Chain A
């Protein structure tokens, strides 16, 4: 947004301004803010689909949550997924950005390919990887066996399923970090690097002391977005592992969904969702202290 405040023009919009802005604000108030308040109210009731009344139970749902081992299991799974997946994506994404700045012939085609996974229906991504990793006929296990290794039980074992979920998330979303960091890298003036090289700085020194600090805003931005998206992730889990086996991939999103849709316990599901919102607000407020949100785009 333009930082420049034009005092002379401040009131100039008047009625026309509200005509242009009003519909958007009213719409979001009705279909985004109101549902959030509705959800908060639900979280204080014991509303279920079967009994449509829903008595006020105060903080009971939240109290129950704190003593529900399944809630803590889901919270741990969410934390694992966010921290591990985003860390891997940031490291690989930055590496990819550096790699693509070599400007090899045909790199734009490969960049075009790498964008695709992000656009694809998450449900289908889940099915696709269930096929690739199928223990009986999947091509990945066939290749691993051909190379003489013992193929892992990707989605069938409790110890492995979360790693597989993270692997698929990394496949789908590393390009996001890459694209954003790459855009930033392209916008940096060449002469900084040339000057450093003339001064006799080695490649690693240039990367650590010049490139990386300059890329930092883009890296943090991408990491925040990825963290929020990984935290909200639901469809992919639905399509890939359905929270199993033995709840090992049940994240907070999926846990809330199960309570709401499967067990139709709307009050409890809303309480879980509000815990998620709380974590999101606290988390993003903390993270965004390092990088301001600003509309616009990287060039």
Chain B
């Protein structure tokens, strides 16, 4: 009797697990299915049938990528994400090294001020950043986005990297200094190879944040051919106007597929990044 009860409990648990998986995944699948339908089929086939027509699919995606500009938006985003992530890592990693290994007057206050910037609402700095970029002539350029994005991702990078530097045994640091290593050499030659997973994690989270950012882009970018992917997607599928749902769904799929692929490749780092800063 007891065994039967245990088995029933086990079955219910597995059922719950499957339902959880479906709740997490189904919205993505639904979007992908909608993107494969003709506009009229979305309105008439409820629920959508699982029959796929390649000409429809290729027509929709060709329109989204080329006529609607999603291909160019992707290219713009890759440039901006790449440059801003790299800059944030170059500036943020040495700072995290200092915060982890060295002490100076008020160093804890400096560190927590930087970390608290992660709480800043983008809406509070979007207008001043836009006016600053305009004043230095960077409005409507890649650099007008890259400069603000570096400052948005720096606190994240510093935060994540401090966690990884903290795990490096202090003895390695001490031994290198005793051997006469200078700090830049020690950081570059000794530390970076050790904290490589940290660099991947920090880069991943900075990149996803920038890929998704939309508010600053809305202010800074005017020309259509410089729009980044989330700004481009937002203008194509805005909640204010009626839209063709097959096109909207395909725009959504094109926007999230790179994130999905990217996060599958570096899956083991995601949890570490998400829990960065959590109490040990």
Contact = CB atoms under 8 A, between A and B. Distances in A.
Interface of A: 1-2, 5-6, 9-13, 16-17, 19-21, 23-25, 27-28, 30-32, 34-36, 38-39, 42, 96, 99, 102, 104, 106-107, 109-110, 112-124, 126-132, 134, 136-137, 139, 142, 171, 175-176, 179-180, 183-184, 187, 217-218, 221-222, 228, 231-232, 234-235, 238-242, 253, 256-257, 260-261, 266, 269-270, 273-274, 276-277, 280, 284, 291-299
Given A35-B128, A142-B47, A295-B277, A253 B121 contact: yes
A218 B278 contact: yes
Point out which of A10, A11, A16 has the most chain B C-beta atoms below 10 A from its C-beta. Answer: A16
A-B pairs with the 7 shortest C-beta distances? A24-B95, A31-B151, A20-B94, A38-B128, A295-B162, A35-B128, A298-B278
A297 B163 contact: yes
B199 interface: no
B270 A115 contact: yes
B256 interface: yes
Given A9-B102, A35-B128, A257-B215, A16 B182 contact: yes
Nearest to B186: A16
26 contacts: A21-B99, A28-B114, A28-B117, A31-B151, A39-B124, A113-B25, A115-B274, A116-B24, A116-B28, A119-B208, A121-B212, A121-B214, A123-B237, A124-B31, A130-B239, A137-B43, A221-B278, A253-B121, A261-B219, A284-B116, A295-B159, A296-B278, A297-B275, A298-B275, A298-B278, A298-B279
A42 B128 contact: yes
Nearest to A125: B27
B278 A297 contact: yes
A123 B30 contact: no
Contacts of A273: 121, 123-124, 127
B115 A293 contact: yes
Given A17-B102, A25-B95, A280-B119, A239 B124 contact: no
Nearest to B245: A131
B24 A110 contact: yes
A180 B275 contact: yes
Contacts of A240: 239
Contact of A27 (B150, B162, B251, B274): B150
Given A217-B279, A295-B158, 13 more contacts: A17-B183, A24-B154, A27-B151, A35-B129, A107-B17, A119-B263, A126-B239, A128-B28, A131-B249, A179-B274, A218-B279, A235-B234, A296-B166
Nearest to B94: A20
A134 B188 CA distance: 54
B123 to A, nearest CB: 5
Interface string B21-63: 1011101101100100000001110111000000000000000
Point out which of A5, A228, A242, A294 has the most chain B C-beta atoms below 10 A from its C-beta. Answer: A294
**Secondary structure of the B side of the interface?**
helix
A299 B184 contact: no
Contacts of A119: 208, 259, 263, 270
A6 B46 CA distance: 68
A21 B94 contact: yes
A223 to B, nearest CB: 12
Point out which of B98, B163, B256 has the most chain A C-beta atoms below 10 A from its C-beta. Answer: B98
B277 A127 contact: no
B97 interface: yes
Contacts of A274: 124
B194 interface: no
A10 B230 contact: no
A186 B46 CA distance: 43
A164 B195 CA distance: 42
Given A104-B14, A295-B115, A24 B27 contact: no
Given A121-B259, A234-B122, A273-B123, A128 B98 contact: no
B166 A1 contact: yes
A12 B102 contact: yes
B170 A23 contact: no
A258 B151 CA distance: 24
Contacts of A179: 271, 274-275
Contact of A1 (B104, B162, B208, B271): B162
A13 B21 contact: no
A170 to B, nearest CB: 11
Point out which of B28, B151, B211, B275 has the most chain A C-beta atoms below 10 A from its C-beta. Answer: B275
A20 B101 CA distance: 12
